[in-house]
Structure 1
């Protein structure tokens, strides 16, 4: 039950106690991340531990200008990593083996990328939960997917490595109030046996509380929550840049056949 309470009370933390994460606690977090489920136990990810102040400042700018990133004691970047396996295949002379056995040897494809992203994100969530158990809060930064060219150079990423998720982590400040964001009701998210498309009445009920948050004079000029969220998220500049970066990553993934 303590674990269930921990899951239910987790929040995104953007302000941290002014002290470094101890080596012992960081190792617990990393060891816990590496115990995450993994496709075929291949561990198709790598984890970057970022403590350098200048690098964190750069990330705070390239990840949609979020200053709090620079103040996080530790930033963890979870990389979808097929490079290590294909370097290992080269070490094992797999290409030569395939030639002898009349098998096709090919570079990582889009399916490998998706599987590696899943591995990386699952490991990241293990890190989140381990951190919570140590009074270390976290905030996911999806914007690490943006500015692919800058991040590739900054983090020295080879061809078959993609930054899937980023976590800012630090101890909860003394007296931090837990602000738990409400979630949608299960009936709109969890379906038995097959997918269910929601009706207008479903949406009206599902978003009734969130509609109350939209001020009549909001900056987006939105008249409802859907319009507001499209302006703020889906149609925003950062989302357009994220899409551009992902297209470039996919081009790189498809174009660099071994």
Structure 2
């Protein structure tokens, strides 16, 4: 193994942090590493919003599915898909007028532009995560920033073509921190050669066999098995419905309308 692989394999999602700020030197390394990430056409279709203010962290700990540990993170980084900067630049440089002159259609960002920008933002976020881990700074991804779109849009002063894709809580590991590595699915269920294929029922049973051991028969969801309980707790839960609603609202702005 080399050091990079060791860092990747040793990382866990960290939700308890030392009560100290991330050093300026480490913060610069983390941010520089994020921006060095691969990006579509070298466009850097994202923005990183740093949150250090305690009041804002307190708000986010409630708006992101009521998770108190968020408020205790020394630093929060929100990675947002961002096409706004490019389209503001286009406007500044007369691209609309140019398009009319050259018989081109000047259109607003559309769904594909959002997905491309999301890819950029998430790749940058993961670069930040690995760089941070190598410095002893732990992290935890928060997908719940996708929820409550209108509220977060106002809280973070987001323009229409800036969408918060993910949030990272960052802080130093406690000296006695215990790293609990959760087992992932075997790669034979993840990696396919040349083409995708559906898994058989037997393969699905094998894939989820470890998860199914955690199923409790007398559960609050009245579920008969792990799949039913997990759906009730995650996929079909209210926060998932709110997340879907928020994304639909945001997508209305990414419609490719003629500008």
Alpha-carbon distance in 1 for matches of 2:253, 2:223: 38
1:93 aligns with 94
Q: Normalising by structure 2, what TM-score?
A: 0.97
Pairing 1:35-184 to 2, within 5 Å after superposition: 35-184=36-185
Q: Residue 82 of structure 1 contacts residue 112 of structure 1 at CA under 8 Å; is this kept in 2?
A: yes
1:241 aligns with 242
Q: CA RMSD in A?
A: 1.1
Gaps of 5+ in 2: none
Alpha-carbon distance in 2 for matches of 1:68, 1:56: 10
Q: Give the drift of 1:140.
A: 0.4
For 1:155-199, what per-residue CA distance to the aligned partner results, in whole angstroms no more than 9, with x for missing partners? 000111000110000000011111011000011000000011011
1:224 aligns with 225
2:197 aligns with 196
1:207 aligns with 208
Q: Which moved more, 1:34-43 or 1:227-236?
A: 227-236
Q: Which moved more, 1:248-257 or 1:46-55?
A: 248-257
Q: Which runs of 4+ in 1 moved over 4 A?
A: none
Q: Give the drift of 1:223.
A: 2.2
Q: Give the drift of 1:253.
A: 2.3
Q: Give the drift of 1:221.
A: 2.4
Alpha-carbon distance in 2 for matches of 1:17, 1:256: 48
Alpha-carbon distance in 1 for matches of 2:95, 2:210: 57
Alpha-carbon distance in 1 for matches of 2:138, 2:130: 9
Alpha-carbon distance in 2 for matches of 1:175, 1:23: 24
1:18 aligns with 19
SS for the counterpart of 2:252 is helix
Q: Normalising by structure 1, what TM-score?
A: 0.98
SS for the counterpart of 1:47 is strand
Alpha-carbon distance in 2 for matches of 1:252, 1:99: 22
2:33 aligns with 32
Q: Residue 45 of structure 1 contacts residue 78 of structure 1 at CA under 8 Å; is this kept in 2?
A: yes
Q: Give the drift of 1:200.
A: 0.7
Q: Give the length in aligned residue pairs.
A: 258
Q: Closer, same or farther in 2 for the Cα pair 1:85/1:124, shift >3 Å?
A: same
Alpha-carbon distance in 2 for matches of 1:195, 1:76: 34
Q: Which moved more, 1:221-230 or 1:191-200?
A: 221-230
Q: Residue 50 of structure 1 contacts residue 75 of structure 1 at CA under 8 Å; is this kept in 2?
A: yes
